[in-house]
Amino acid sequence: MNIESTKIDLAKQLFNINKESVLSKIKAILDKEEIVAYTTDGKPLSRKTYLEAVESAEKDIDNGNYITQSQLLANLKKW
């Protein structure tokens, strides 16, 4: 079965599901696997991994672990 046939088959099956719990499980799987961003070196990030990275960055900012644009430009001039 090719990928298009598989997608059509899955869509048909989804339309026939009447249990919220089954749909929730399918959604959780799809959300986990969905690629929403990429790292600077090209690694794909799932929604969960992306949100974890954002939370980590926010914590760094809250803890003062950052440099300003002015500081960055000054550092670049030293190279």
pLDDT tens digits in sequence order for the chain, 79 residues long = 688 999 999 999 999 999 999 999 998 888 777 888 999 999 888 888 899 999 999 999 999 999 999 999 999 999 8
Residue 75 is inside which H or E element, if any?
A: helix 69-77
How far is it, in rounded angstroms, from Cα 66 to Cα 11? 46
Show the tokens assigned to 2. Answer: 């090719």
List the Cα angle 11/16/20 in 5-degree steps: 100
CB neighbourhood size of 57 (10 A) = 12
Model confidence, pTM? 0.52
